Amino acid sequence: MRCNSRRARPRGRHFFGAALLAYYSFVGLETSANVIEEVKDPSRVYPRALSGAIALVAVANGALLTMTMSSRLAYGMAKQNLIPRAFSRVFPHRGTPWVTTVITTAVAMALTVSGSIATLAETVVLLLLYVFLSITVAVLVQRRDATNTTDFRAWTVLPVLGAASCVVLLTQQSIEVWLRGGIIVAVGVGLFAIMALSRGRR
């Protein structure tokens, strides 16, 4: 019995480890939806591009799409005064957010030399799980809002199971991954605090 229990534990760890990395394979689908807002008529172009052979290869390359999306996401946050306005600078003619592109590329290069590919992927998964957990909790909170008139309403059991699965997978992350994720979140919170203080002074 002892031998069987010892063999079962590594299998469970491998299962959760595979589940964590499986989340990373869906990054391309999410980031491609964020980038598609830069094209004309996205509701017509995006479904066609997603079903093309080149588009599927691009979606599979989650790392490249994540880098492209992160610069656009930071640009959008700057436009909404969530981070310093300097991040919203673009090229005059092309409209490309060059400041956020340079900064996110430098951050990506620093992260690349700071750890293995598996550790970086797990860090991305950690942050994604936190986002997914926040979304599922927000769904439950919005159900109590009487002014919410949206036509879509998920069954209560679905966000509950989603939140529970995120919590279970979060407990499987290593201390190193939590440390990396915590530093990234702390930088974001610091930028947001700077903007909050500047708005307060104004």
CA pair distance 71, 89, nearest whole angstrom: 11
pTM as predicted: 0.61
Contact 67, 108 (CB under 8 A): yes
Domain boundaries, the chain: 2-201
CA pair distance 37, 95, nearest whole angstrom: 13
pLDDT mean by block of 10 residues, the chain; 202 residues: 44 59 59 67 71 56 68 86 85 85 87 79 83 87 69 78 88 87 87 81 65
State residue 3's pLDDT score: 43
Write out the DSSP string of 107-156.
HHHHHHTTS-HHHHHHHHHHHHHHHHHHHHHHHHHHTT-TT---S----T
- Residue whose C-alpha is closest to residue 15's, from 178, 168, 144, 187: 168
H or E segment at 197? helix 175-201
What end-to-end distance do the CA atoms of the chain give, in Å?
69
Q: Alpha carbon of 181 to those of 72, 128, 167, 177, 188: distances in Å?
A: 20, 10, 15, 6, 11
Contact 173, 24 (CB under 8 A): no
